[in-house]
Structure 1
Amino acid sequence: MKHLVLLLFILFNSSLLLAQGTTPDSLGTVRGFCIAAPTPAEHARFLTFIEKELAPRGVNTLVLRVDYNYQFKSHPELRDPSALSPQQVKQMVQLCKKYGIELIPQINLLGHQSWANTTHNLLRVYPQFDETPHVTMPEKYEWPNADGLYCKSYCPLHPEVHGVVFSMVDEIMDAFEAKSFHAGMDEVFYIGDDKCPRCGGRDKAELFAGEITRIRNHLAQKGRRLWIWGDRLLDAKATGLGMWEASMNNTHRAVDMIPKDVVICDWHYNRAEPTAAYFTMKGFDVITCPWNKPAVATAQYEAFKDFRATANPTLAPRYRGLMQTVWSGAGNFMDIYYNTKPVTDPNQKGPIDSFVQLFQTMNSSK
């Protein structure tokens, strides 16, 4: 009888612990914020923003889209004309450590090597890395266009491209004292182009998976972890998500070809799509990323809470949390947030309202 009572006691407490383990806070929820790194002129104001706005709201993860906004020593030819100094980065690192915020730098790899009619630094300095050199940049950009040009990509099979980009990645990771790196890799429309002498005719999913794996393996050599946006790993046709939030060029099959320790940042801006559950069942850690609609951000957080409360102990910890995204410069965001700049378009307030609403909702659920 004593053994039966003891067994029932153990089972009851184990069930209780499992139930407690599925609450958002007990599993270490990611409470993230993603924005472009500030320019040198915006740096001091951004430090105040971290201290006065992010830290009090309980933000524990800050992804900064750095790209070429750093005084790289390994490749000074790729620096922006005005770029953050090592000393300025160190100040951000120290401030984030003070408030327990994990700081993660991002450099867009593979895709997003241009925007509108502007070629970004990597392909401007090293045009030989261009996946589609036959596609010329227009004087005036329009979408759609005959070339299918959204953003340029570098060729993932060019024998010299990784020597350049990995030296930048290593330098920025050391500067930010970071344990994780965000490689972007969203909205890759140019990959495996038929005219590329290296990629033409190859499987686009294998090319995409190969590039993810190569970046992941490079980071893993120093115990660092890769984060990417998740849209290219979703099937646009099967899901009805369309060409922006998912892939129309068959890269989605790469989801079964890449290492499971890659963190997927799953962005959806118009609806609380259930794709985070899909990624967890594929074995990945996933973070849902809202942008400019407060109601959607709230719905995404509710979906996250429901998943954590109902999923089994294997799946629940893989759904790691939410990260508010901002797709403007840090200065512009702060201007509108602090009402120091006239709002010419009501949509400009969307990301701010979403940020405020998301963290208000998350904090009220603690």
Structure 2
Amino acid sequence: MSTTGWDEQKRDEQKRDEQKLPLLPMPKVARRLDGVWKPAGKRLEVCVNPALAWLGEVISQEWRARFGGGMDIRIGAEDEWQIHISSVDEGNAERVDRVGDEDTEQVNSSDVDESGQTVDEAEAQLEAVGRFSPQARPEPERNLSPEAYQLRIDSSGIRIEASGYRGALYGWFTLGQWLHAHQGDVIPGLVVNDAPELELRGFHFDLKGSVPNLEYMLGAIERLASFKINTLLVEYEDQFEFVGLPDIHKPGGLSAGDRDVLLVHARRYGMEMIPIVQCLGHVDYILKHERYEHLSEDGLLSQFCPVMPETFALVTEMIDEIAAAHRDAVYMHIGADETLALGRCERCRERMGAGSKADLYLEYVSKVAEYVLSIGKKPVVWDDMFHLERCIERVIELPKGTAICSWSYYEFGEPSSWFWYGGGYYSSQNWEDRDPGAVPAGPNLEGLPEEDQAVVRQYWDEGQYPDFGGSAVPWVWHYMEQGYEVIGVSCARGADFINQWSAYPADRVANVKFWAGHAAKRGMTGTIASAWTRFYSLSPPIEHWETGWYPTVAQAAYSWNPSMEDFERLFRSVFLEGDADIAQAMDWMQAAWDAREESNMGRKRAYYQASVRKLEPFTGRADALGRYAEGLLLSALYEDSLLALESGLRQNEWRMYGQLDKGPTDRDYMVQRDWNGLCKAADQAVRWEERALAYCSAFMPQAEAEELVESKLHAYKARIRLLSRTLGRDYAF
């Protein structure tokens, strides 16, 4: 084999080895070392930065629980972001030697990786991506990311070097995954040099519905941080306890004290908070109260009238209170999406005159954004109204310093055969002629006015028209050209249907993966995975938090390392802790979701029922994995119940229309058989409700759990009651 071929083979082997490491997100560079460390029974010391003294306590407690022996905590210098774990008596450190393939000189195993390449050689590769060596602390002038870290485990102990608070924290989380994957009293050698691709890696805390209790949210913050999420987009709505605005706070909602506990905990775990204050639309949680309803647009509860001076006064008062609670927040999101009622009331029509809805929108939203800038925060707005009103070019009217959240929940890759514009899905005429099923149903690009076609072609085309464009979110390029910071927003849960129990996972994972890659390609600040718990405040709650961990972890993984491979295997290895039964159940549930045709109902139910059998043994487990498995089980039971109910209703509902006049049905065997089948399905649904309520009540306030569970089958109950009355049957559901 030639030298070149040998080098390529070695690189391929190294890449495969990296992919086998049970670390998520997958580090940019990681190597196993042949050396081991045996800390069991020794007196150890952990040295941490003063700001991480709390983490020293955590490490000490976890270490004693696993390895026994004592561990001292030593506080290091304030300018050194390090975590060192070593034996107090360094003479006790285990050292393991190895002999190279082509020499007989003894070499410290911690200096050689599995491929035979010296660690110095491996680390030389890191210079191109701005990492630092394990032998020296990062130099400030190298301008390293404050989230970069280097982890080294060898026969002398464990050493984490970082250039900031988060970097040190993330080094510990990576170490924690490595320790969890290697039980016993020996820790295998490892070297990791890592830093994120995207600066902002966010997740959405939507408190509109399915709100968990404080304990669950604190645990969720820790878990998100362990996968290196660094930003929380917090949508309080009526869960924020306003002091100067009566009636808005939901009775029994999050108290100011609990909110502050949440914020302190998030800060400790390296989280940047972005609070949302809806400045125009999605304000039904406010306007439903008599005190504020006069501020509505044309009497509608969903939207403020932007012309009324009292609207701006109310919004700025909300901004002031939320900003005071988030003093260290850099951003303040002001919403401004889906303001579909613009220009309806007489005041707005008079203000618009011969102008447009876009004029009305930009005048008001820019005014709110200017106010946010004036209090030292960076305003953030959703971008959908710019392409809905076909005024992409007018984004420049937003004040400089505004950041734009560009969102699309149904984009799964590049290039794209369609794009979203003017409230519809557009593609070229070419697809209608070739394969209309390859694009969403909607108008053709060629039907747009010429000036709109020019805008679209400029940003969407990328030389691939008429078949494809760059992506379904071409406007990102335009926003950035105008000097605006852009954050991409995917959806981990809450995008599929207004009354869902759980999301379609394959689409959600593909969506977060797309946005991470697109953000890296375009040089965007980062991405946030939205996680809606209601479509809007007056709609039913959907998809409780526990249902979304799979795409949520994908968001963490891909936003840290968009080019990572083998996410599925790593999710199963790390998050599912290698449990084959849960993984098999997830595969079967995915197969059921994929079998969408009605003719496959029996097959779908078989997959769901098999998943339940795989997951039943986890019932009663109190740990996080047990809770996740029970949530999956309830999703499978729910989907199976829906199929049974739908089948039973179809077998019976037709009798309400035109069949009863053909004679008595009380002696018709088919009638009784079909009714018994529906009753059996209804009984199954009742059992699901009871089990789901017990499950949700364990981590949600009782009222939240009841609303979530009872809303899911409400429509089926109403149909069965109507059918029962019409047919003279007796069934209480």
Fold shared by both chains (TM-score > 0.5): yes
RMSD: 3.1
Q: For the residues of structure 2 that align with 1:210 and 1:54, how far apart are their CA atoms?
A: 38
Match of 1:297 in 2: 512
3-state SS of paired residue (2:343): coil
Check if 1:282 corresponds to 2:448: no
State the 1:169 CA deviation: 1.3
Looking at structure 1, the residues matched to 214 and 370 of structure 2 have their Cα atoms a distance apart, in angstroms, of 32
Offset at residue 321 of structure 1 (A):
0.8
Partner of 1:66: 236
Of structures 1 and 2, the one with the larger relative CO (CA 8 A, separation 6+) is: 1
Cα shift at 1:218: 1.3
Deviation of 1:87 after TM superposition, in Å, equals: 1.2
Query: How do 1:256-271 residues align onto structure 2 when only pairs under 5 Å count?
Result: 256-271=396-411
Shift of 1:199: 3.7
Name the residue aligned to 2:261: 91
Larger radius of gyration: 2
Partner of residue 528, structure 2: 323
User: Do residues 213 (structure 1) and 380 (structure 2) align?
Assistant: no
Instruction: Give the one of 149, 165, 189 matched to 2:340.
Output: 189
Corresponding position of 1:361: 558
In structure 1, the partner of 2:296 is 130
Q: CA deviation at 1:286?
A: 0.5
In 2, distance between residues paired with 1:17 and 1:321? 18
Q: Residue 26 of structure 1: CA displacement?
A: 7.2
TM-score (norm: length of structure 1):
0.71
Structure 1 gap ranges (5+): 1-15, 115-119, 136-150, 235-246, 309-318, 337-350
1:110 pairs with one of 259, 280, 283: 280
**Is contact 2:207-2:533 (8 Å) kept?**
no
Residue of structure 2 in register with 1:42 after alignment: 213
SS of aligned partner of 2:380: strand
1:334 is the counterpart of 2:545: yes
Q: Normalising by structure 2, report the TM-score.
A: 0.37
Q: Kindly state the Cα deviation for residue 357 of structure 1 after the two structures are TM-superposed.
A: 1.9
Distance (Å, rounded) in 1 between the aligned partners of 2:325 and 2:338? 28
Aligned residue among 307, 310, 318 for 1:157:
307
| Shift in Å, 1:17 | 9.7
Q: CA contact under 8 A between 1:205 and 1:252: conserved in structure 2?
A: no
Alignment partners' CA distance in 1, 2:554 and 2:248? 38
SS of match in other structure, 1:362: helix
Structure 2 letter corresponding to 1:321: G
Distance 1:253 1:192 in 2: 21
Report Cα offsets for 1:124-172 as digits up to 9, x if no partner.
3322211112x5xxxxxxxxxxxxxxx7211111021122221111111
- Any idea what SS the aligned residue of 1:289 has? strand
1:110 offset after TM fit, Å? 0.5
Shift of 1:360: 2.3
CA 1:30–1:189 in structure 2 vs 1: closer, same or farther (change >3 Å)?
same
Deviation of the 1:332 alpha carbon: 4.9
1:221 Cα deviation after fit: 1.9
- Partner Cα separation in structure 1 for residue 391 and residue 236 of structure 2: 26
Change (3 A) 1:123 1:210: farther
CA–CA distance in structure 1, aligned partners of residues 229 and 402 of structure 2: 22
- Contact preservation (8 Å) 2:403, 2:485: yes
Which residue of 332, 347, 356 maps to 1:203? 356
Q: Alpha carbons of 1:307 and 1:252: their partners in 2 closer, same or farther (altered >3 Å)? A: closer
How many angstroms does 1:325 deviate by? 0.6
Q: Which deviates more, 250-259 or 223-232?
A: 250-259
Q: Deviation string for 1:310-347 (max 9, x for gaps)?
A: xxxxxxxxx101111101169953342xxxxxxxxxxx
Deviation at 1:113, TM superposition (A): 2.4
Amino acid at match of 1:129: L
2:270 alignment counterpart: 100
Q: For the residues of structure 1 that align with 2:511 and 2:226, how far apart are their CA atoms?
A: 23
In the alignment, the residues of structure 1 paired with residue 331 and residue 392 of structure 2 have an alpha-carbon distance, to the nearest angstrom, of 23
Q: 1:269/1:256 Cα in 2 relative to 1: closer, same or farther (>3 Å)?
A: same
> What are the Cα deviations for residues 49-90 of structure 1, in whole angstroms up to 9, with x where unaligned?
101x21111111101101221211111222222322221111
